[in-house]
Structure 1
């Protein structure tokens, strides 16, 4: 059973002690400035590296070697030359370095605290990209009344065109996900987002000037393709830059951003603006700020490791953890996990082969099920057709005001999920809210059923809004939990590519759910549609309760081991970590 300590670190220290009588250990530095050799054959850190001692004390402490190696070989000529040309350090300095206590070597790791601010800033920027997604998805919910007005002098959409206007963005999302998978692998998540944001703005402006229905639908499809580029890239970026104890909350930022996007478009749509002006406002507000912010962010350290850019990966990890945190062990664990799962092979066929491994394939199938099933919980259909749904209730309450209330509760529900995500198991975050959504959707369906039967429901006109106000925060928690699981349970080595595959099914499910909702209402009524969504919520709860282990509080590397080797392996690793002495 492997130790919980990084095998990379353990191997490094074992190798150092085996070879300390054979050569001078320079810890991978070819530059002679990193090592000073005294006349007695002692290798010590040179003054040029003193500024690095806060984060690399364990790498530059004194190592004693003899002029002749233990095997009878002379010191290398490079070292002898270095010995002759390097000025001797004062004796008291050499003694001070030789007597450095082991406790000081670990003081940076034990006492240093990781900086949270850089991780929060990067997560907020990723969340801003999801504000754009929320406005894209929620747009039909507030402008369809204008586009379906027969007396309007502007563009008019028939019933089939309404279904396409609400759902074609998800067809575009399928192609965007496939292209995004390639971009995420080759240029990284940050560059993918920097490419996507200007494209989003251009498409919003083009929608403002469109003068034909077919062009309106085509541009919506292209906007959906950009949505596919952004979806996986932003989620993966946040997961890979976050430390494990706050990863759940930071990942929830993207979901909060998406809900803020819904609220934004509902508010703008309720103003005295044309549908064209609504599009222009949404484009300018959501595309420009994240583009500027990501210009100043580094790439994900884990993605940099997959590309062999190790120096940049270390710098990126130091940026996100802060200058006072020793990130060496975390860096070593990332390297080891990557080497263990890929053997440094990252080609397209190698990733496909790795996805065929039983433990990885089971995770992929489970995620595909969740990504498709969650679309039939009613979340996207309600968000896309929120104003028409409230108009169908025949309630005295203003439909746009009701939509804004639902948008606000979406934000509140997602914020609540962030506050509890690292305090409760992922299983409970899915099972409990799914059962709550089942109850509320059955209630909403009952209201429409009573309306369809011609019963007097004038005294309960408040019920649809109340039911959706209860339903909305719970479905947002479900969405947040699935977003976290999607990013957590896939191995780092294939996360970018496999996430693209998962998002293909995600957008396929969104397209089917939003395209079929008008047809379901026309055939089985609103009550039949919402009761079907209630059944989907119940199915998710049953499957999650049977399959999903709890991943909260584990690092990405530990989660991978959990699915590969089981819970017993993780418990034994933790026991070894507690009982094992510190590595000198």
Structure 2
């Protein structure tokens, strides 16, 4: 298994998930950049940007990603995964090109909007593509690689943006999607997509590339994909949103997908990504804002690295519950710190508290809630509904990300800094309760057993039946 994992990462996951790295860079870019744009030395010329203008810099990427997700999900199914993958890189390259030459606030906003289109396309394509080309034994682990590189991109932005001049920083950001396009050129088309189009020989070639030419394994996988298509033979092009409400299992899967994605954003993480430097400036921390930001981003990166190795061992559900509970404590403590500071209490000796709270917050987020749901939503839908279900779930993710990043500053003015963080804390606690009672554990379980549980069959009886029939739980696509 370890050798399979290493080969999979080296050969095809790094090229695909470079789009996630580019997305992370775009998400992290505002944090070191917004203070400069709001200063009198703004690189755009003219007046410093207002809070309203900078709120659009952080949030437009989410709005355009929301609009792009259903469009590019349709394109991935209709016109191939490869074409969609190229468009991901092209759009992000165009956006960074505009930023390189931006002299006005409007140009910057347009550029961020275009980059957001590429980010939406990336998040619509990559989980689906990874699910279709991964081997079952490492599907969960490889499913976290996109988030791993996305968080790596955020950390990269924090580090480079803190110490490199604005224009050089933008050229570095521009180079990443160019590298992605170069490496993605060598990627094969998804064998599942090819089989759905009746291109069996092309699917064999794709699997030969992905599996290293092992003929018996390739033929077994061709047979498995054929049976899966036959067993779920409903025409995907004829599936509508109403079909997701055709059974108890699909309704529960849809609700779980939407609420897990809402949990990701309503814990406040996108606001933290966009305004980390500003938060540390307000906190009066003893550490410099940029150094504190880099430290926070490092914990974000470490958390998802740990999740990559735990997700197929500890399980999906336990990681998400622990993640939400730790974030609840961190947001509660951070809110308490700002409450004391705002009421005039002497917190000078406790400047480490916001750094520790945010660092632990992002670590626990990337360990569970910020990573695992992308794997879970690909595992709880029937194959014919998976694309549409994931599309709607990810649309929810981008919608909440837009609302949180756009109105975070206004929310702080309305509720106070402390009230805003306490609100995020309550949402994290609610997320843990929801996951405990309503989300099924999908680790080492076949799709059939997951669907039976969603349709109301007791999980213990499912395990007993699978044990009697097969000896072990059989994993399937």
TM-score by length of 2: 0.91
1:116–1:321 CA contact under 8 A, matched in 2? no
In the other structure, the counterpart of 1:497 is: 388
Shift of 1:551: 0.6
Task: Write out per-residue CA displacement over residues 509-539 of structure 1, whole angstroms, 9 at most, x where no aligned residue.
Answer: 1001111110111121111111111111111
Question: Aligned ranges for residues 18-37 of structure 1 at < 5 Å?
Answer: none
Shift of 1:385: 0.5
Q: Secondary structure at the match of 1:456?
A: coil
Instruction: From the superposition, tell whether residues 441 and 352 of structure 1 become closer, same or farther in structure 2 (CA, over 3 Å).
Output: closer
1:223 correspondence with 2:115: yes
Instruction: From the superposition, tell whether residues 317 and 574 of structure 1 become closer, same or farther in structure 2 (CA, over 3 Å).
Output: farther
1:118–1:321 CA contact under 8 A, matched in 2? no
Task: Write out per-residue CA displacement over residues 218-276 of structure 1, whole angstroms, 9 at most, x where no aligned residue.
Answer: 221121111111112011111221122211111111111001101111111111402x4
Q: 2:468 aligns with which of 575, 579, 583?
A: 575
1:356 correspondence with 2:245: yes
Query: C-alpha distance in 2, partners of 1:235/1:556?
Result: 17
Instruction: Note the residue ranges of structure 1 that are not aligned, 5 or more in a row.
Output: 1-111, 580-584
Q: 2:347 aligns with which of 457, 467, 478?
A: 457
Question: Aligned ranges for residues 427-442 of structure 1 at < 5 Å?
Answer: 427-442=317-332
Task: Write out per-residue CA displacement over residues 439-489 of structure 1, whole angstroms, 9 at most, x where no aligned residue.
Answer: 111111111011011001111111110111222210112111111112222
1:244–1:553 CA contact under 8 A, matched in 2? no
In the other structure, the counterpart of 2:440 is: 549
Q: 2:284 aligns with which of 394, 398, 403?
A: 394
Shift of 1:381: 0.8
Question: Aligned ranges for residues 51-450 of structure 1 at < 5 Å?
Answer: 115-120=4-9, 121-150=11-40, 152=42, 154-155=44-45, 156-274=48-166, 276-284=167-175, 286-324=176-214, 326-343=217-234, 345-347=235-237, 349-352=238-241, 354-358=243-247, 359-450=249-340
Shift of 1:278: 2.0
Query: C-alpha distance in 1, partners of 2:382/2:190?
Result: 15
Query: C-alpha distance in 2, partners of 1:408/1:370?
Result: 24
Task: Write out per-residue CA displacement over residues 327-360 of structure 1, whole angstroms, 9 at most, x where no aligned residue.
Answer: 44443333222222234x232x335454232222
1:448–1:527 CA contact under 8 A, matched in 2? yes
1:441–1:534 CA contact under 8 A, matched in 2? yes
Shift of 1:386: 0.6
Query: C-alpha distance in 2, partners of 1:115/1:261?
Result: 25
Instruction: Note the residue ranges of structure 2 that are not aligned, 5 or more in a row.
Output: 473-477
Query: C-alpha distance in 2, partners of 1:355/1:523?
Result: 38
Instruction: From the superposition, tell whether residues 258 and 578 of structure 1 become closer, same or farther in structure 2 (CA, over 3 Å).
Output: same
Higher normalized helix content (fraction of residues):
2
1:524 correspondence with 2:415: yes
2:94–2:115 CA contact under 8 A, matched in 1? no
TM-score by length of 1: 0.75
Q: Secondary structure at the match of 1:190?
A: helix
2:86–2:184 CA contact under 8 A, matched in 1? yes
Task: Write out per-residue CA displacement over residues 115-144 of structure 1, whole angstroms, 9 at most, x where no aligned residue.
Answer: 445522222222211111111111111101
Q: 1:515 aligns with which of 406, 411, 422?
A: 406
Query: C-alpha distance in 1, partners of 2:245/2:381?
Result: 13
Query: C-alpha distance in 1, partners of 2:269/2:256?
Result: 20
Query: C-alpha distance in 2, partners of 1:222/1:279?
Result: 15
Which deviates more from structure 2 when the two are superposed, residues 494-503 or residues 317-326?
317-326
